[in-house]
Structure formats: structure tokens, C-alpha cells
Structure 1
Amino acid sequence: MLGLSEPEMTALSLSLTASAQAVLWSLPLAIGLGWLLGSRRFFGHGLLNAVVHLPLVLPPVVLGYLLLVLLGRNGPVGALLYDWFGIRIAFSAQAVVIACAVVGFPLMVRAIRQSAEAIDPRYARAARSLGASEARIFVTVTLPLMAPGILTGITLAFARAVGEFGATITLAGNIPGRTQTLPLALFTVTQSPGGEADAMRLCLLSLALAGAALLASEAIARKMTPMEARA
């Protein structure tokens, strides 16, 4: 398939699977934070916003190192997980998912926050005047209105996770068949003599995946934007 070798297909499969899992597990928190940052103003708002978006500006290797310090065998969280549950995070398939989730999370929150900021507060006030509870307003009014941002955020976070390299190689390593994702496979073949053709094939595949995700994000945004807003 696509002229890829079996190890390359395994790396592609791991990238797609880990990225999907990363988006799925982080989506509820992203929706909550996106709504909170976009619709509320409170003490510490700017600090929380900065912390959430910190992975966007940190070098990925620095981010991966911090995750390794936190989740490594002797780290404060990693040691507890290993001692209590026998779970080792670093250099495992779970580490790939965590690295993908962390780097893609700010993009998801940002898109959702922008949708939350654009919601007219009169909709919620009208629902309250009809006796709707805050929970019902969030589920039946706020969430549907945030849907364009949620879908756009999912798409962008997935694309970012598929292309993640620095945090992944630092936290999960580059173990073929276990933690080697598509970018790590590309890195590996570039270090091998005569690997130019393989590197170009993987590079083109990465470009195709990223381009498809960006086109999908744009299509979702246009599809779900009201006609009057586009005029």
C-alpha cells in the first residue's frame, strides 16, 4: 500500500492511531477550558491562558524533556504510577499518545475558545428566561454554537499530533514497531545511506496528510459558518 514497507506502514498506523487517541482523550478538557477562557473573565485568566498555550511556543524537545522528568520512572508522577499500578509511561506506546495530546491540545483549546467568544450572550439569557438550567443551556445552546470551533480544533490537533517529532522522541524514544511514528521513521531513513528515496516518499506522505487536514479544517469552518457571516 502506497509503496510503503511493513515498518513504514506500522509507523503510519501508529501515528494515526496515537493521534486519534490523543484527540479523543483530551477533547472533553479542551471543550471545558475553551468555553471557560472564551466566555468567562476571572482572576488568573491570563495566567491560565498562557499555561494552556505554552506548548505552542516551547521547543518540542524541551516539552518532551519536561514530560520525561514528570512521567519517567523516577519522576513524581511516573514513580507513583509504577509503584501503585505497575504502569511505566516513558518509552511506551502510551508515551506517544501523551506527547501527541500535549502538543495538539493548545490548538484545540484555541479554536474552541474563539467559537465561545463569538457566541451572542443573548441566546443564553433567552434560555434562562424560559427556565432552562445552566447545564441544559450548555448542552443545548452553547455546545451546538461552539461546534465549528470544536471540529476545527479536532482537525488541527490531529494534524499537529501526526506530525509531532521532538516531544515524542524525547518521551517515547524511537523504537521500531513500538514507538516509531511517521516523523521518527522519516528521521531514521535520513540517517541511513541511500535512504533518499524512502525519505522523499515519507516526506510526501506527511505533506499529503497535513494538507488534507488543513483543507478539511477550512471546509468545516466554511460549512458551519452562517451564510450571513460569510457575506
Structure 2
Amino acid sequence: MDQINLFPLFLSLRVALTATLFTIIIGLPVAYYLSMAKGKFTDFIDTVITLPIVLPPTVLGYYLLVLLGRQSPLGIFLEERLNIMIVFTPTGAVIAAMVVSIPFLIKSAKAAFANIDPNIINAARVLGRTEFNIFLTIIIPLAWRGIVAGITLSFARALGDFGTTLMVAGSIPNRTMTMPIAIYDALLAGNRDLANILVLIMTIVSLTVLYTINRLEKRVSKGGN
């Protein structure tokens, strides 16, 4: 068997980690807003955020291509003014992974935020704490288990994405080929030995993630923060 190219593994890990980082930065404030706000507009935002979970990956990838492609207004602006290309680049893979994974963090964190006793938050406000300080020093520590579970799910989803990443980033060897795409290409090429090894690696990673999630869920079910 030919020597195994580990680039897809390292790229997948890098893409998943980067996407998860942006998911945390963007997802936590959104989740907190959704847990506090009420009304039809909030419900609409929540529905839009949930769409990546239920939409077929090819449909989601198509929307991203329309939005970020080289012929789109945003794509033209980024390329001509900032010399930034999204489609068929590692950056495109990160964006695709973030879009498909961020709903899992938002849903989990939103539920954790909603379970916090509002009297604790109101008491902090009476004591003169700012909203940002309350969010960092009270909300996050009280909801950390739900947040960690959401982060774990988001990382796993970003690591395993295939359809959306393929549509946006393509399958360029040693540039945009992630592990799921490498497995697919290995099967198409008839290299079952390579496919088996890559599948084994992804299975081990997935089992580790699921075990971590299950342990966190058991701790939450026992109560206590």
C-alpha cells in the first residue's frame, strides 16, 4: 500500500478547530440573546439558525456558493478590494464547517442559559455589575456544562462535514481535501486499504467525542454546577 498522506487529517483538525473557535465567539452571544429575548423576530432568528441542521448539505453548500462565489457581489468585493478568495480555499472549508456546526452550540448553550435562575442575574444587576461582566463571570460559569457539550458537538460536526465542504471548498489534494472527502476519493479510486485506515481514524475520533458527551450528560443529570 502506498504511503498514507496525513494532510487530510491535519487539515480536518485545523478546519474543525478554527470553525469551532469562531462558533464559540459568534454562537455564545447569539445563544444568550435567544434565551433572553421573546417574540416573533426571535423565533424567526432561531428558525434560520436551525436550518443548517435540517437542510441537505448540498443545498446549504449551494446557498454559500451563491453568497460567497466569485460571481456574487460579496465575492467580487472580497476578491477585487481585499484580494480574498473564499471558494475552493481552506477558508471556504472553515466557513462551511462553521455554518453546519454552529446550530449545535447555539441550541445547547441556549438551553443551558435558559435554565439559569433569573434572580441570580437580577441580583448581580442590583449590585452594579455590567451585562458583559455578568455574562463572563456568572452566566458562563453556571452554564459551562451545556456550553462544553455544545462545543463538543460542534467540533464533531465540523470535523465530519462532507457535502457542504465539498461544495464550497472542493477536493483539491494537499489544499482543501479534508478527511471525509479523502475517504470518498479513496473509495472512488478503488483504494479500499486507504479508505479503511481513514475510516478507522475518523471512527476513533467520533467515539472519543461521543464518550465525552455522554460523560458530560451524566454529570448534568446528577445536578450541581
What interval of TM-score do these two structures reach, taking the shorter chain for normalisation?
A: over 0.9
Looking at structure 2, the residues matched to 226 and 180 of structure 1 have their Cα atoms a distance apart, in angstroms, of 39
Q: Which amino acid aligns with 1:56?
A: I
Looking at structure 2, the residues matched to 29 and 204 of structure 1 have their Cα atoms a distance apart, in angstroms, of 32
| 3-state SS of 1:66 partner | helix
- Give, in angstroms, the shift of residue 51 of structure 1: 0.4
TM-score by length of 2: 0.93
Looking at structure 1, the residues matched to 213 and 161 of structure 2 have their Cα atoms a distance apart, in angstroms, of 18
Looking at structure 2, the residues matched to 87 and 228 of structure 1 have their Cα atoms a distance apart, in angstroms, of 48
Question: What per-residue deviation string (whole Å, max 9, x for no partner) do you get for residues 154-189 of structure 1?
Answer: 111110111100011111110110000000000001
* Contact 2:19/2:94 (<8 A) preserved: yes
Alignment partner, residue 214 of structure 2: 218
Alignment partner, residue 35 of structure 1: 32
- Give, in angstroms, the shift of residue 219 of structure 1: 2.4
* Contact 2:23/2:101 (<8 A) preserved: no
Residue correspondence of structure 1 range 11-160 to structure 2 within 5 A = 11-160=8-157
| 3-state SS of 1:208 partner | helix
Question: What per-residue deviation string (whole Å, max 9, x for no partner) do you get for residues 189-208 of structure 1?
Answer: 11113x22222221122111
TM-score by length of 1: 0.91
Looking at structure 1, the residues matched to 80 and 49 of structure 2 have their Cα atoms a distance apart, in angstroms, of 29
| 3-state SS of 1:89 partner | coil
Q: Which amino acid aligns with 2:203?
A: L
In structure 1, the gaps of 5 or more residues are: none
Residue correspondence of structure 1 range 201-216 to structure 2 within 5 A = 201-216=197-212
Computed over aligned residues only, the root mean square deviation of the Cα atoms, in angstroms, reads 1.9
Mark the CA change 1:4 to 1:204 in structure 2 (over 3 Å): closer, same or farther. Answer: farther
Alignment partner, residue 188 of structure 2: 191
* Contact 2:16/2:158 (<8 A) preserved: yes
- Give, in angstroms, the shift of residue 227 of structure 1: 4.5
Looking at structure 2, the residues matched to 228 and 213 of structure 1 have their Cα atoms a distance apart, in angstroms, of 22
Looking at structure 2, the residues matched to 42 and 159 of structure 1 have their Cα atoms a distance apart, in angstroms, of 32
Mark the CA change 1:122 to 1:4 in structure 2 (over 3 Å): closer, same or farther. Answer: farther
Question: What per-residue deviation string (whole Å, max 9, x for no partner) do you get for residues 87-116 of structure 1?
Answer: 111001111111111111111111111101
| 3-state SS of 2:195 partner | helix
Alignment partner, residue 165 of structure 2: 168
Looking at structure 2, the residues matched to 40 and 184 of structure 1 have their Cα atoms a distance apart, in angstroms, of 40
In structure 2, the gaps of 5 or more residues are: none
- Give, in angstroms, the shift of residue 141 of structure 1: 1.1
| 3-state SS of 2:161 partner | coil
